Structure 1
């Protein structure tokens, strides 16, 4: 039977107050470590490294080598108490890099297999867009399972919000593909779109099959980021400086609101 929670580096997702995830970026290591320093000051126990914004001018193989070379320093900078989520987004997914499915899988699997001196993985979670090639998604999930690294299976819609039943179907399908933490992020055009996202989140939470993330982006959907616990979402994204997605709020503000709005 599936566990209703997921624990990464001592952080339990799916129980109690939702976790705050802070994204960091940077074109080079100096900029990246400046963002990591800001993330360490934020009230967040999970940090997402947006690798699509690192070494932007590099080709695919050169970029992968640069990410893997920088990874030990990122892990060291975060310390042992924060979990590291590694993500690459293409421009179609709101990111800054184009990459073939097999190359994306190679990057994520390389990061999954990278080890600290004691043999432990350097990353705690990796993100893969589940609309990509199913074989690539499964390869990433299998590599992650072998290393006890969690997989965030993502779906983004920057044009609108699918029907509530479709959002439920997407979240359940992501788990079936091997995602430990299914994630949907959609764009509302009116308040009913936000209700559709929140209703789908409640339905999937009732499955008790494991935690998930459900986000309605932009200012209209901001309520989904701070009322995550009420509607069953296990975590929310917030900024410690530059936002990485539409409607992302400051981590300090989100932390206070999560406490104020606890059911």
Structure 2
């Protein structure tokens, strides 16, 4: 059996829809939920904290920055204030590496567990660049995350190379070409992989039921793959 947790992002505008989706996937056996705060209409710090408390299940609080595919319309200070407010009820708080250092520190100083993330929807950086990104993330938070877009199959193999060399790291090759990396990640003991509900929040996400089945198949030796 795999140790990688399957996370389902919830990308809904209204609290009622968020709670309904959460209940549905908790019943289906999801390991962790990701609340995309940037999808919520006019989110307020106390409201987000209340929603996570009401879900009452391990949840990643994510308020994605626009430059990395997010939709939050407020200021950076407001974006981070929401994450800081819910830091004591979320399992993890996701904050982007490119966020201002002082704002990241304000999250880390709460003592919550953090995912420090980086997304590139256009390309896959060279391996050395990705290793440097993950190194910086690991120095800040509990889990490093990098999600990049492949232009060729070799790019997807390079993402697996990151997983093979870095602990406590989520490394994803996006799009259809890279979708298999979301499954193979479990063979490298990646802490979390992301599947889709009815909300596809990144290119190449696999639906939850399929992901759950695939993660329980012992169908590949990753040492042979990288030889």
Would the TM-score normalized by the shorter structure come out above 0.5? yes
Which residue, 188, 193, 196 being the options, matches 2:150?
A: 188
Which residue, 54, 69, 77 being the options, matches 1:76?
A: 54
Pairwise CA distance, 1:232: 4.2
Residues 164-200 of structure 1 deviation map (CA, whole Å, 9 limit, x = unaligned): 1111111111111x21011000000110110111112
Which residue, 14, 20, 24 being the options, matches 1:34?
A: 20
2:99 counterpart residue number: 132
CA distance in 2 between partners of 1:189 and 1:75 (Å) = 41
Residues 54-104 of structure 1 deviation map (CA, whole Å, 9 limit, x = unaligned): 01xx3xxxx324xx2243343333x4xx31110011332112123433222
Whether the aligned pair in 2 keeps the contact of 1:226 and 1:261 (CA below 8 Å) is no
Which residue, 35, 42, 67 being the options, matches 1:49?
A: 35
Whether the aligned pair in 1 keeps the contact of 2:163 and 2:185 (CA below 8 Å) is no
Pairwise CA distance, 1:40: 1.6
Size of the aligned set, in residue pairs, is 220
Residues 15-54 of structure 1 deviation map (CA, whole Å, 9 limit, x = unaligned): 9521101111221112222222222233311100000000
Query: Does 2:101 match 1:123?
Result: no
Point out where structure 2 has 5 or more consecutive residues left out of the alignment.
222-227
Which residue, 90, 104, 128 being the options, matches 2:65?
A: 90
Matched ranges for 1:1-263 at <5 A? 16-55=2-41, 58=42, 63-65=43-45, 68-77=46-55, 79=56, 82-112=57-87, 121-143=88-110, 145=111, 149-176=112-139, 178-205=140-167, 211-261=168-218
RMSD: 1.8
Whether the aligned pair in 1 keeps the contact of 2:37 and 2:48 (CA below 8 Å) is no
Residues 110-129 of structure 1 deviation map (CA, whole Å, 9 limit, x = unaligned): 112xxxxxxxx321111000
CA distance in 1 between partners of 2:165 and 2:12 (Å) = 37
CA distance in 1 between partners of 2:2 and 2:141 (Å) = 21
CA distance in 2 between partners of 1:169 and 1:83 (Å) = 29
The two structures have a TM-score, normalised by structure 1, of 0.78
Whether the aligned pair in 2 keeps the contact of 1:90 and 1:99 (CA below 8 Å) is no
Partner SS state of residue 85, structure 1: strand
CA distance in 1 between partners of 2:133 and 2:96 (Å) = 12
